[in-house]
Amino acid sequence: MQAPPPALLPLLRTAFQGELLAWLYLHPQEEASLTELASRFGVSSATASREADRLVKAELIAARRHGNLRLLRANTTGRLAGPLTELFALTYGPIAVLGDLLLPLAGVEEAHIYGSWAARYSGEHGEVPNDVDVLVVGNPDEDELYEAARQAEGLLGREVNVHRVSPARWREPGTDPFLTGVQSRPTVRLELFGGKNK
């Protein structure tokens, strides 16, 4: 039985297509191996390879061999590069950039997207969210945290709202209505690319 199209961008067949293209188009100067991408997005190497073949054939991404590795990158010279970058920034962009911006900050233990974007990513239908809500668990420097959020806004073309909470409060929310509300709805835990999380 085939999975329904992803709620974030129903034009796509799978969420993996969106995740893959968002990461490549929002990191246009970088290459990533097929193995890394399959691992990062939790798909088999065969699935990743089939999808890469389709996207290379359509000239949406470029591939090259380096030894045994098949390296992929966005095709930034194609006429669709600009519109695709904007489209994937607005849909799958948060998962492609927020982990790499927030998780390296000193004092950050974990981070989660919540709210309407997390609901769409989890399959709830609705409009493309106007903003992205992020809960950061830890005690990072507030200025560094908000600077990272502003950088994310520039990449994603929308507001990024960051809420900081201590690890103790996250693990034991008690009667805090905000945290119990966040934990009762879909959330998406952010990761560093390649699983290099602390």
Q: CA-CA distance, 54 to 96, in Å (whole number)?
A: 21
Task: Give 146-198 pLDDT, tens digit per residue.
Answer: 999 999 999 999 999 999 999 999 999 888 999 999 999 999 999 987 544 43
Residue ranges of domains in the chain = 15-90, 94-195
CATH code, 15-90 = 1.10.10.10
Cα separation values, 169 from 29, 96, 103, 137, 191, Å: 39, 27, 19, 9, 21
The CA dihedral of 113, 114, 120, 126, to the nearest 10 degrees, is: -140
Task: Give 52-93 pLDDT, tens digit per residue.
Answer: 999 999 999 999 999 999 999 999 999 999 999 999 999 999
pLDDT averaged over every residue in the chain? 92
Task: Give 105-160 pLDDT, tens digit per residue.
Answer: 999 999 999 999 999 999 999 988 999 999 999 999 999 999 999 999 999 999 99
Per-residue pLDDT at 176: 92
Q: Categorize the per-residue pLDDT at 2 as very low, low, confident or very high, splitting at 50, 70 and 90.
A: low
Q: CA-CA distance, 46 to 31, in Å (whole number)?
A: 19
CATH code, 94-195 = 3.30.460.10
Task: Give 5-55 pLDDT, tens digit per residue.
Answer: 788 898 898 999 999 999 999 999 999 999 999 999 999 999 999 999 999
